[in-house]
Amino acid sequence: MTRIILADRTIMTTLQRILALLGILLSSTAGMAADEPPTDAPVADALVIPPLVKLWEAQAVLNVERDKVAHIVNDEDVVFVQSTAGIVTALNAETGREMWTAQVGRTDEVAMPATSNSSIVMVVAGPALYALDKFSGKELFSYRLPSQPSAGPVITEGSFLIPLSDESLSACALNTLEYLERFNTLPPGIGRAIAWRFATGQVIKRQPVAGSSRVAFVTERGDVFVVDISGVQAGRLKFQFLMQSPATAPLTLVTRDQEYLLAAAANSRLFCIGMNTNGRMQWTYPLGQRVSEPITVIGQSVYIVGDEGEFLGLGLQSGLPLQTVNGEPFAVADVKILVSVTEKAVYVIDSSGQLVTVNRKTGKVATKDHYPDLTLPIRNSVTDRLYLCSTSGRVVCMKESGIDFPVYHQNPKRSPIMPEVAKPAPAVPAADGENQ
């Protein structure tokens, strides 16, 4: 039986959560009073943010006289630069080396931002979807969708799912389309290219997110649908969460001990929903402003950029404001885009286009830097690298000094294997009477 959840009937009041947090703070403060005060030196060292250094610089392939950058996105391995003419340039995310370039779709055809997983990158251009090998650029298949796509696809193990303008979500198997591309016919026993289709009767304008066994998407009306994507239940609705207010931002999938969905609504509320718990709401928070930018989750911290410029942080488990070392809520004014998050800092772009370094512990602005020609930042939520780009395709990658290897925020298993360096043996003290 499909479960439909109304947001208003499951809201835990903010007052209840604040009272619970105050109880925790009072008990922890009482325990700390009996201890000796810690020294200031380790705290001071923890607050120091390493300076930024340029890791690499590269140039995407495009005709600078008539062409410019349309989209720039990244994953842990590759930075994809898409030009308005349809040329895609793939750059190694750690070295900046050009891996491949390809014309995807017709020249000057409007395309959506690229989507990738560990091995494939997909680009929707016009009414067609193109799949390429992420590391070589070899085209695996192209497929003309049955109706105009309304948002980009999400790629799962063995399939992709894409919203269409007929108010449906359609799923296609990758091996079916690769077979169709190679032999110009469907595999034996397969009647059509689309494996299943889920009709909603509502407009879907935001990209879906896929967990281990379910896919979630939000409609313009503000309804969150969660559907099975594998097995005999594939294409079946598991639950529907009604925010009772139009959606304003894409869904964010958070995979920690559980899979959570973060959804923002026009009534300035943020909802955290359990994806595998039949729509159980973990918490909700009144943001006080509309949110259109994607929500970023790093570790147990949720970062939100409001349309009015307020940048704030919440705890993933509690839904309460993050506290700085001074006991104040983490909040920064005049922020437009989040660029990257490291262990000690959050990097954002302000309304004047400056790159602002914010200390994660204190919530204070540490530095401001201006890069006049690098006006296209990437919202990098997957690693701790910073990527800035110009409209002419110049891409610059920066990192914090002393951080040699990237930190993978969302997929730690993809992190490079670090070599084990043997520690030097301790010095053996000389025996009595030696060296005399």
Tell me the DSSP string of 55-73.
Answer: EEEEE----TTT--EEEEE
What pLDDT does residue 30 have?
A: 44
Residue scoring higher pLDDT (387 or 412) = 387
pLDDT tens track for 320-337: 999 999 999 999 999 999
What pLDDT does residue 45 have?
A: 62
pLDDT at 284 exceeding the cut of 80: yes
User: Is the CB of residue 127 less than 8 Å from the CB of residue 145?
Assistant: yes
Non-local (6+) Cβ contacts of 268 within 8 A are 286, 287, 288, 289, 290, 291
**Amino acid type, 388:** L
Confidence bin at 131 (pLDDT 50/70/90): very high
Q: Which domains does the chain have, with CATH numbers?
A: 3-17+50-414 (2.130.10.10)
Of 7, 26, 24, the residue nearest 285 (C-alpha): 7
The DSSP 8-state label assigned to residue 224 in this structure reads E
If you search the block for the tokens 């920066």, which residue do you land on?
398
pLDDT at 43 exceeding the cut of 80: no
Give the DSSP H/E element, type plus range, for residue 201.
none
Q: How far apart are CA 149 and CA 152, in angstroms?
A: 7
Confidence bin at 419 (pLDDT 50/70/90): low
Residue 234 in tokens: 């594939």
pLDDT tens track for 422-433: 556 666 665 555
Residue 57 in tokens: 């610089």
Task: Count CB-CB contacts under 10 A for residue 45.
Answer: 8
Residue scoring higher pLDDT (5 or 376) = 376
pLDDT tens track for 144-171: 999 999 999 999 999 999 999 999 999 9
The strand ranges marked E within 342-383 are 345-350, 354-359, 365-370, 376-377
Average pLDDT over residues 239-261: 94
Average pLDDT over residues 112-141: 97
What pLDDT does residue 29 have?
A: 45
User: Is the CB of residue 131 less than 8 Å from the CB of residue 174?
Assistant: yes
What is the value of pTM for the model shown? 0.86
Q: How far apart are CA 316 and CA 115, in angstroms?
A: 26
Average pLDDT over residues 253-269: 94
Instruction: Phi first, then psi: give them for residue 211, nearest 5 degrees.
Output: -95, -155
Give the DSSP H/E element, type plus range, for residue 42.
helix 40-47
User: Is the CB of residue 358 less than 8 Å from the CB of residue 62?
Assistant: no
Q: How many DSSP H helices and E strands does the chain contain?
A: 3, 33
Per cent of the chain over pLDDT 90 is 79
What pLDDT does residue 410 have?
A: 87
Strand, helix or coil for residue 26 = helix
Residue scoring higher pLDDT (191 or 263) = 263
Q: How far apart are CA 313 and CA 332, in angstroms?
A: 9
Q: In the chain, how long is the greatest CA-to-CA distance?
A: 93
Residue 367 in tokens: 């530095």
Residue 251 in tokens: 């869904």
If you search the block for the tokens 């930190």, which residue do you land on?
407
Confidence bin at 214 (pLDDT 50/70/90): very high
Of 118, 119, 217, 117, the residue nearest 171 (C-alpha): 217
Average pLDDT over residues 45-58: 90
The strand ranges marked E within 287-408 are 296-298, 301-305, 311-315, 331-332, 335-341, 345-350, 354-359, 365-370, 376-377, 386-389, 394-400
Non-local (6+) Cβ contacts of 435 within 8 A are none
Task: Count CB-CB contacts under 10 A for residue 224.
Answer: 24
What pLDDT does residue 275 have?
A: 94
Of 289, 164, 286, 268, the residue nearest 222 (C-alpha): 268
CA 339 to each of CA 78, 145, 234: distance values in angstroms, whole numbers, following the listed order: 16, 33, 36
Q: What angle do CA 415, 137, 213 make, to 5 degrees?
A: 55
Confidence bin at 394 (pLDDT 50/70/90): very high
Q: How far apart are CA 22 and CA 25, in angstroms?
A: 5
